[in-house]
Structure 1
Amino acid sequence: MAIQVGPCDPWPVNLCCDIPDGLEQADVDRWTMVASQLLWALSGRRWGPCPVTVRPCRKTCFDTVPSWRVSWGTVGPWVPYIGTDGLWRNASVCGCRTDCSCTELCEVYLPGPVYDVQSVTVDGVVLVPEAYRVDAPGRLVRTDGECWPECQDMAAPAGEEGTFAVTYRWGLPLTEAAVAAVSELTCHLLRGCAPGGCGCKINRSLTRISRQGVDMELPDPTALLAEGLTGLPLVDLWLTTVNPDGLTSPSRVYSPDYRPPRVQTWP
């Protein structure tokens, strides 16, 4: 599951409509948040940014590579084997070095998309930004010659001695197209507002009418909603662009060997 359940704040808007009479700014802010939550869900739950603090668990060097796989010329634990000449030798199975790096690469995985890293704290000390970088997909790499802790005291609060915590913002950056889409949806919600009650105007189920030689046919709104669309041109254009397959959440690959970082949810 995702590490967040919705946008933390309303998306920025540039409203191109008049605010109905009788509405306060608090009502506008509330329905902007509703529009942001709807578009966040309809677009695949990937947009942010939203701050989160995690307590990573770094896998040891030996755990990153299956026991049957060996590589020579690397560092870490050694496994004895018999060569073709009958002599015993040692083979390293360390996974700290990647297939494209000649040096040890110490990293932890952050569930993403990672927008940016706000702080990294090890043993109560906040590291300078030059001590790490982020490689896709969500790999926090140590660059100052040190390595991330292999274990930490999960009973202690983050920021104390013996702890390791990363605060970063989760989610894809909002583009101008996203701002335009949420602005249009917010205006649509506000037009259906009146003092004492707000929301979308009820869509009639009428699909065709004939009167005095004039025929009118309206699209079935339930068909659009079933496809994850709204009937608003700019909103639907953005949704079909960023989420053409109608995914309800980001795709993931699960592994029984992967230990996700711990996220405190209460208090």
Structure 2
Amino acid sequence: MPGPVYDVTEVTIDGQVLEPEEYRVDAPGRLVRVGGGCWPDCQDMSAPPGEEGTFAVTYRIGLPVDEAAVAAVSEMTCHLLKGCAGGENGSCGCNANRNFTRYVRQGVELDLPDPEVVYSQGRTGLPLVDAWLMVVNPYHLDSASGVYSPDFRRPRVQQWP
């Protein structure tokens, strides 16, 4: 099955729903029948799922998230909702055109990070979001890394009958 499999919602063969104990998912996205059963060799592709002669798998794509990811997404959502709510009182400053980085008034000094520098470093300026991004992607990679070995022979995949 393409994509990282978060969970399998339902597997049907000839309209009959299989129990979750009758199958499992092995990496990378390989659905395995448990208990000695076999998957169908062919199916009627013109029939809708759930009919006689069909085989259908319903699953969700994704990876499980931890509490830190939930906190980061919550902070980002709150930030966007405050600034994008419209009206005059958008309190997060999403739409503000801030052109200063240092503020001094009545003995109070406040240094603010330059937004262009923050964004160019792949950060958002939100503490929880930036901390989570540094944990899951410390080197600011654009895509996942991979390892290839010249000794490993890839299995042959049939492209045409």
- State the TM-score, normalizing by the size of structure 1: 0.46
> 1:134 aligns to what?
25
C-alpha distance in structure 2 between counterparts of 1:258 and 1:200, whole Å = 52
The correspondence for 2:123, drawn from 216, 219, 229, is 229
The correspondence for 1:206, drawn from 100, 107, 114, is 100
Q: For residue 100 of structure 2, what is the amino acid of its counterpart?
A: L
Q: For residue 128 of structure 2, what is the amino acid of its counterpart?
A: L
CA deviation profile, 1:104-155 (whole Å, cap 9, x unmatched): xxxxxx2232221111111222111121112223221111312222332222
Aligned residues: 150
* 2:60 paired with 1:160: no
C-alpha distance in structure 1 between counterparts of 2:158 and 2:80, whole Å = 43
> 1:85 aligns to what?
none
Give, in angstroms, the shift of residue 236 of structure 1.
Answer: 0.5
> 1:219 aligns to what?
113
C-alpha distance in structure 1 between counterparts of 2:139 and 2:28, whole Å = 21
| Counterparts in 2 of 1:255 and 1:203: CA distance versus 1, 3 Å | farther
Q: For residue 126 of structure 1, what is the amino acid of its counterpart?
A: V
* 2:59 paired with 1:186: no
Give, in angstroms, the shift of residue 241 of structure 1.
Answer: 0.9
> 1:257 aligns to what?
157
* 2:8 paired with 1:117: yes
Confirm or deny: 8 A CA contact 1:203 1:221 kept in the other structure.
Answer: no
> 1:73 aligns to what?
none
Unaligned runs of 5+ in 1: 1-109, 260-267
Does 1 or 2 have the higher relative contact order (CA < 8 Å, sep 6+)?
Answer: 1
| Counterparts in 2 of 1:204 and 1:196: CA distance versus 1, 3 Å | closer
Q: CA RMSD in A?
A: 3.5
SS at match of 1:119: strand
SS at match of 2:135: helix
CA deviation profile, 1:16-50 (whole Å, cap 9, x unmatched): xxxxxxxxxxxxxxxxxxxxxxxxxxxxxxxxxxx
Give, in angstroms, the shift of residue 234 of structure 1.
Answer: 0.8
Unaligned runs of 5+ in 2: 149-153
Identity %: 65
* 2:129 paired with 1:238: no
| Counterparts in 2 of 1:214 and 1:188: CA distance versus 1, 3 Å | same
Confirm or deny: 8 A CA contact 1:205 1:221 kept in the other structure.
Answer: no
SS at match of 2:116: helix
Alignment of structure 1 residues 144-155 onto 2, 5 Å: 144-155=35-46
> 1:41 aligns to what?
none
C-alpha distance in structure 2 between counterparts of 1:156 and 1:251, whole Å = 40
C-alpha distance in structure 2 between counterparts of 1:142 and 1:115, whole Å = 18
